[in-house]
Chains A and B, each alone.
Chain A
Amino acid sequence: MSLVEVQNVTKVYKRDTMEIPVLQNISLSVPEGEFLALMGPSGSGKTTLLNLISGIDQPTSGSIVVQGTDISKLNEGALAKWRSHHIGFVFQFYNLLPVMTAYENVELPLLLTNLSKKQKKERVEMVLKVVGLEDRMDHYPRQLSGGQQQRVAIARAIVTDPTLIIGDEPTGDLDRKSAEEILILLGRLNSEFKKTIVMVTHDPHAAESAHKIQHLDKGELRAN
């Protein structure tokens, strides 16, 4: 059963009077439990596709249905709420808030829930344990290595138990060893915790961790 259904999606950016087509009539299906890697050269539109699937951008035409919800029809407020429940983000540059500890960064998405303080604490501690950083929860991002920061970001992405994990070059800013650790962690999330993952990467080695690789080139999709 497909968790994500992308149907005939086109995305055109407008820059002043110019129209720049980025995605052209893309259709894609991501089954539940899939670990999909999207590859392609710079400017091919892979991050744009990721943004559309995760509901932080809207398609110019076409529809995107995630777990039965057509997110291309949701307004901004509804989309924000939908993201908080269904999407976990892992960015290339971690994007942790520097003024907050690892614990507080992971707790951030839970601030939007009605969980009790105790329940939040249990959740945060559990996911930090999953990513192996239970002993670093009081550390600020600047006190952590790149790999550790990315693991905090992954903990933040999974703390709400989302439907879909989105990774935008999650290993792009890491050394080989740290990248390997992150890929193993993502693999575990997929195999042990049955999380569906869509990951954009430039790195063929990172893409090999996925079950399926799809290539985007000049806004068009082709299977590996």
Chain B
Amino acid sequence: MKVLKLIYKNLFRHKLRSFLTILGIAVAVFMFGFVSTVVTAWSYGVDAASADRLITRHAVSFIFPLPYSYRDQIAGIPGVSKVSYATWFQGIYKDQSFENFFPRLACDPETIFDVYPEFILPPDQLAAFKKQRNGCVIGQKLVTQHGFKIGDIIPVKGDIYPGDWEFVVVGIYKGRDQTIDETQMFFNWEYLNERNRQAASFATDNVGWYIVQIANPNEAANVSETVDALYSNSAAKTKTETEKAFQQSFVSLSGAIITSLEVVSYVIIGIILMVLANTIIMSARERVREYAVLRTLGFTSWHVVGLIAGESIFTSMIGGVLGILVTFPIANGFGAAFPTMFPVFAVAPMTVAVAFSFSILVGVVAAIFPSIRSANMKIVDGLRQIG
């Protein structure tokens, strides 16, 4: 408390230097927060995965389909409470530009919103979805991005499933909270299968994967084993895993990029540390004589340590807070600009906590060396220094 006033005064002694240091820390904390948010957004599916959902896919690869006939067999396995399914449709809306890409999935209208209760769809729209063969349900973000509304027709050119497709918007779902992806389009698998049948496609009566809802999450391993055992001698062997593991397998494909981003974010912290340490060392060196004078007046070495550490921590804290404050609008803007690349792009409370903690830690670490040096310096040596 005795040195607070001095810390405050010293903080603004060299206004430009303090401003540039704080700015540097703010930029670095922002970069850390932003990169961490990218990493979090990349793996949002893993975080959003439900413990009571299993995914059953082809044992060889996700791109190979599974027979539709598995549905009832899986549903009959003890511990399974509901089974739904989906197929990756893809297709091209307008063009292949990034802005016009969004996930398009064929699914079972009867069950899909039961196994994904986090997608909130009004009952009348769900009824319309179940009723209309070429109907589709889209996420709220697609409405914001493309201006779709109920009754609109979304034309899609097929690529995996050739032909021109038209889907009528019959429902708009919202996420239960901001961590839920609102950029997907669901349409009736029967519509896809009917066209496949007409075209005598290899994909007729096949689905991409099954979503298996289980009564007890603790039984996930047993149910998975049972499902896979059931098809161990069939042509289309299965691999069943928790939704989290399934999502993790996608994320791990980009593991090197994510690791690089994480490394970059920690390098940024290292850079802030060096910038701040340099400033604090410089300031402490300039004030050696003043510290000696203070100690002459009766202030102790601990007061001097408090002065140096206080200034360092305050500087890093102000920079940290500014950096965090700036992160929110920029992250929101980025998320809005790339809604389908990062369906959920929000600064997590943990990211804020880590960024703030790092800014304080950097302040503490930067002050260690100059504090020790100043506290150990003899008063008479300090008084001899030319200020």
Contact = CB atoms under 8 A, between A and B. Distances in A.
Counting contact residues on chain B (CB < 8 A from A), the size range is 20 to 34
Nearest to B287: A97
B10 A91 contact: no
Contacts of B290: 95, 97
Contacts of B296: 54, 56, 83, 87, 89
Given A57-B378, A57-B379, A99-B13, A109 B293 contact: no
Contacts of B146: none
Interface string A71-92: 0000011001101110101010
A83 B298 contact: yes
A51 interface: yes
A108 B380 contact: no
A163 to B, nearest CB: 13
For B2, B296, B301, B383, the residue with the greatest tally of chain A CB atoms inside 10 Å of its CB is B296
Interface string B286-320: 00011001111111110000000000000000000
Nearest to A52: B380
A37 to B, nearest CB: 20
B17 interface: no
Interface string A97-112: 1111000100011011
Interface string B1-16: 0100110011011000
B297 A51 contact: no
Contacts, number: 61
A98 B300 CA distance: 20
Interface string B330-345: 0000000000000000
B298 A112 contact: yes
Interface size class of A (residues with CB under 8 A): 20 to 34
Contacts of A111: 2, 5
Contacts of A54: 296
A87 B6 CA distance: 22
B297 A108 contact: yes
A139 B301 CA distance: 29
Interface of B: 2, 5-6, 9-10, 12-13, 289-290, 293-301, 378-380, 383
8 contacts: A56-B380, A56-B383, A80-B299, A83-B296, A87-B296, A89-B293, A91-B293, A111-B2
Given A77-B300, A99-B9, 14 more contacts: A51-B379, A56-B296, A56-B379, A57-B380, A80-B300, A81-B298, A84-B297, A87-B296, A89-B297, A99-B10, A99-B12, A104-B9, A108-B294, A111-B5
